[in-house]
């Protein structure tokens, strides 16, 4: 792939550099599109990949980033649960049971001893509707704590996102560096092959020696090894970039983003102000400190009273498998009342003066009563007998719990103090790292300028050496030395350009925003 590196430095202002114009991107895109099976596009990196595409794909596919972002979903549900804790709880329940026929024991006696023999089987059902409400300090403070925890999880997700963006940017720059290193290696191979042809031509006309031909052949071999190494570096760096984007190993894509090398004219104070607002690690610690502040308040809430309110409605139904026993019991009860009535009448008649007697026939068991018993027994499962409603209100205040509350409060305070100290350390670290990163970026910019000038001088030296060798006024060793100087100058220039962009990416990671867009 043929590319050219261009870098100009005007006397003032920013210095736009658009390196690496592509020559065969369209051909690569067509070949890759033809090799991809239908329906596989979701698992394939676009054939022409920009840095923005790489960042977007990584944010939507990187497994570790998605795992961190999933925690926000849990925090959302914790917030909903905190809202729900402020509302009363309601419950409904129902039960169904069966009791077989047979002898039953009531304490030390049995039902048969009480005159209840031949007990049938029974079916039972019941229901209960309940409403309860509890309010204390922890429930009241759980809502602001859940909000703080949600902000903390969001800050943690943003920190993870920033780390992934930095890793992808660095991997993209490394792959682009390897890609351009391959271009330089191929150019060096072309020059070495041209020198070999030149030395062989001179040998044929008698102005060259076999030693020069052998030296040119060695140079070609070394250039071929350099090309092989560079190709492997390109493939390895692309595989690493694909992994960070969340794809299976693949390298069938081309990097097409261009970058600018411009003089960093930001002041340290300006960058520090931006970093204090946008630095992901600093925002994460501030959000964690909010959570710990809520934790201290939550620990204090253990000293507050608790209010509890409850109310319930319930009912039951019972049905015997056979109503005969119920009818017999009712008949016995009616006979007992008739006998008691007749006994009372006999006593009343013997009194002086006698008292009026009662009509005992009214206690006789009737057919209507039998039908009522049979119909009343048909209650299972939903003919409930309602029980009295129940309501209660209670207030409790814990007085002494073995210093557990005091311990929890002190633990929360110490944890808050630890986070405050960590935040202070992070602020100091940020100032130091920011100053260092800005100095590194400025140094990289100056180095890039110098390497650009060195490249111009190396080009001129190689041109003069090639001309002198053609005229026979210079040896092949001088030509090889000029070739070596040119190759080193090209690589140093390439390294300086990418060192600048890597330093800029590190500075952007500290500031927390894209400085290229400012």
Half-sphere exposure of 496 (CA within 13 A, CB side): 25
pLDDT digits (tens, 9 = 90+) for 407-440: 999 999 999 999 999 999 999 999 999 999 999 9
Q: Are 489 and 455 in contact (CB under 8 A)?
A: yes
Q: Are 271 and 511 in contact (CB under 8 A)?
A: yes
In this structure, the number of other CB atoms found within 10 A of the CB of residue 70 comes to 11
Q: Is the pLDDT of residue 4 over 50?
A: no
Q: Are 72 and 157 in contact (CB under 8 A)?
A: yes
| Residue 351 phi, psi dihedral angles, 5° rounding | -75, 155
Q: Which of 33-47, 367-381, 383-397 has the lowest mean pLDDT?
A: 33-47
Burial class (CB in 10 A: 0-12, 13-18, 19+), 369: middle
Domain spans in the chain, listed from the N-terminal domain onward: 45-79+140-305+404-511, 88-102+111-135+306-396
Residue 312: per-residue pLDDT: 94
pLDDT digits (tens, 9 = 90+) for 269-291: 999 999 999 999 999 999 999 99
Element (H, E) at 483: helix 476-511
Q: How many helices (H) and strands (E) does the chain have?
A: 11, 9
pLDDT digits (tens, 9 = 90+) for 225-245: 999 999 999 999 999 999 999
| Residues 6 or more apart in contact with residue 228 via CB below 8 angstroms | none
45-79+140-305+404-511 has which fold?
Answer: Outer membrane efflux proteins (OEP) (1.20.1600)
Q: Which of 7-16, 142-151, 186-195, 448-457 has the lowest mean pLDDT?
A: 7-16
pLDDT digits (tens, 9 = 90+) for 11-61: 333 333 333 333 333 333 333 343 333 333 457 899 999 999 999 999 999
| Residue 20 phi, psi dihedral angles, 5° rounding | 65, 55
Q: Are 158 and 283 in contact (CB under 8 A)?
A: yes
**Rounded to two decimals, what is the model's pTM?**
0.71
User: How does residue 113 score in pLDDT terms, banded at 50, 70 and 90?
Assistant: low
Q: Is the pLDDT of residue 303 over 60?
A: yes
Q: Are 8 and 17 in contact (CB under 8 A)?
A: yes
Cα Rg of the chain (Å, integer) = 46
Nearest alpha-carbon partner for 268 in 432, 33, 484, 62: 432
Q: Are 152 and 290 in contact (CB under 8 A)?
A: yes
pLDDT digits (tens, 9 = 90+) for 438-483: 999 999 999 999 999 998 998 898 888 888 877 777 777 888 888 8
Query: Chain-wide mean pLDDT for the chain?
Result: 84
Q: Which of 60-64, 204-208, 335-339, 442-446 has the lowest mean pLDDT?
A: 204-208
Distance, in Å, from the CA atom of 513 to the CA atom of 274, rounded to the nearest integer, reads 8
| Residues 6 or more apart in contact with residue 302 via CB below 8 angstroms | 137, 138, 398, 405, 408, 409
| Residues 6 or more apart in contact with residue 248 via CB below 8 angstroms | 43, 242
DSSP at 93? E
Work out the percent of the chain whose per-residue pLDDT is above 90: 48
User: How does residue 117 score in pLDDT terms, banded at 50, 70 and 90?
Assistant: low
Q: Which is more confidently placed, 13 or 77? A: 77
DSSP at 23? S
Cis before residue 219, ω within 30 degrees of 0? no
Beta strands in 214-305 (DSSP E): 254-255
Nearest alpha-carbon partner for 293 in 423, 416, 419, 156: 416
Distance, in Å, from the CA atom of 461 to the CA atom of 445, rounded to the nearest integer, reads 25
Q: Is the pLDDT of residue 1 over 80?
A: no
Strand pairing class (122-135; 89-99): antiparallel
Strand pairing class (385-386; 390-396): unpaired
In this structure, the number of other CB atoms found within 10 A of the CB of residue 210 comes to 9
Distance, in Å, from the CA atom of 248 to the CA atom of 510, rounded to the nearest integer, reads 30
Distance, in Å, from the CA atom of 487 to the CA atom of 190, rounded to the nearest integer, reads 12
Distance, in Å, from the CA atom of 414 to the CA atom of 423, rounded to the nearest integer, reads 14
| Residues 6 or more apart in contact with residue 495 via CB below 8 angstroms | 177, 451
| Residues 6 or more apart in contact with residue 91 via CB below 8 angstroms | 128, 129, 130, 131, 132
pLDDT digits (tens, 9 = 90+) for 242-271: 999 999 999 989 999 888 888 898 999 999
Nearest 5 degrees, angle CA 11-CA 13-CA 16?
95
Distance, in Å, from the CA atom of 36 to the CA atom of 243, rounded to the nearest integer, reads 19
Which sign, positive or negative, has the C-alpha torsion 171, 504, 255, 179? negative
Phi-psi region of 387 (alpha: psi -120 to 50; beta: other; left: phi over 0): beta
When mean pLDDT is compared over 115-124, 291-300, 316-325, the highest value belongs to: 291-300
Which sign, positive or negative, has the C-alpha torsion 190, 191, 196, 201? positive
């Amino acid at each position: 792939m043929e590319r050219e590196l261009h870098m100009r430095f005007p006397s003032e202002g920013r210095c736009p550099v658009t390196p690496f114009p592509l020559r065969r991107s369209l051909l690569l895109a067509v070949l890759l599109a033809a090799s991809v099976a239908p329906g596989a596009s979701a698992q394939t990196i676009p054939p022409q990949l920009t840095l923005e595409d790489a960042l977007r794909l990584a944010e939507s596919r990187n497994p570790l980033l998605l795992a961190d972002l999933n925690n926000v979903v849990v925090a959302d549900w914790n917030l909903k649960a905190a809202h729900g804790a402020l509302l009363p709880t309601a419950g409904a329940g129902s039960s169904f049971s069966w009791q077989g026929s047979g002898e039953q024991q009531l304490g030390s006696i049995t039902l048969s001893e009480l005159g209840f023999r031949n007990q049938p089987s029974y079916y039972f059902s019941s229901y209960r509707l309940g409403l309860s409400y509890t309010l204390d300090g922890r429930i009241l403070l759980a809502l602001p704590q859940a909000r703080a925890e949600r902000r903390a999880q969001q800050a943690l997700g943003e920190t993870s996102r920033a780390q992934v963006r930095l890793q992808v940017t660095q991997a993209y720059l490394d792959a682009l560096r390897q890609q351009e290193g391959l271009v330089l290696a191929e150019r060096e191979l072309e020059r070495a092959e041209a020198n070999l042809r030149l030395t062989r031509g001179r040998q044929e006309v008698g102005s060259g020696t076999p030693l020069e031909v052998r030296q040119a052949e060695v140079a070609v071999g070394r250039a071929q090894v350099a090309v092989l190494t560079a190709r492997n570096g390109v493939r390895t760096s692309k595989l690493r970039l694909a992994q960070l984007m969340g794809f299976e190993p693949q390298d069938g894509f081309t990097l097409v983003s261009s970058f600018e090398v411009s003089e960093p004219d930001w002041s340290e104070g300006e960058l520090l102000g931006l970093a204090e607002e946008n630095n992901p690690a600093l925002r994460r610690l501030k959000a964690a400190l909010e959570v710990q502040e809520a934790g201290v308040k939550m620990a204090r809430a253990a000293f507050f009273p608790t209010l509890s309110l409850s109310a319930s409605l319930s009912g039951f139904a019972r049905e015997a498998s056979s109503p005969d026993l119920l009818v017999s019991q009712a008949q016995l009860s009616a006979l007992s009342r008739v006998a008691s009535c007749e006994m009372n009448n006999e006593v009343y008649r013997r009194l002086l003066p006698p008292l009026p007697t009662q009509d005992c026939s009214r206690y006789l068991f009737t057919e209507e009563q039998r039908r009522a018993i049979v119909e009343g027994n048909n209650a299972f499962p939903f003919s409930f007998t309602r029980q009295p409603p129940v309501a209660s209100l209670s207030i409790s205040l814990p007085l002494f719990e073995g210093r557990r509350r005091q311990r929890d409060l002190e633990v929360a305070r110490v944890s808050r103090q630890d986070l405050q100290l960590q935040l202070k350390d992070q602020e100091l670290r940020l100032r130091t790292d920011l100053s260092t990163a800005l100095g590194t970026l400025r140094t990289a910019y100056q180095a890039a300028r110098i390497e650009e000038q060195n490249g111009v001088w190396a080009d001129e030296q190689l041109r003069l050496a090639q001309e002198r060798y053609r005229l026979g006024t210079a040896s092949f060793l001088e030509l090889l030395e000029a070739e070596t100087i040119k190759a080193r100058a090209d690589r140093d220039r390439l390294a300086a350009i990418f060192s600048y962009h890597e330093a800029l990416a590190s500075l952007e990671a500290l500031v927390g925003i894209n400085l290229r867009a400012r």
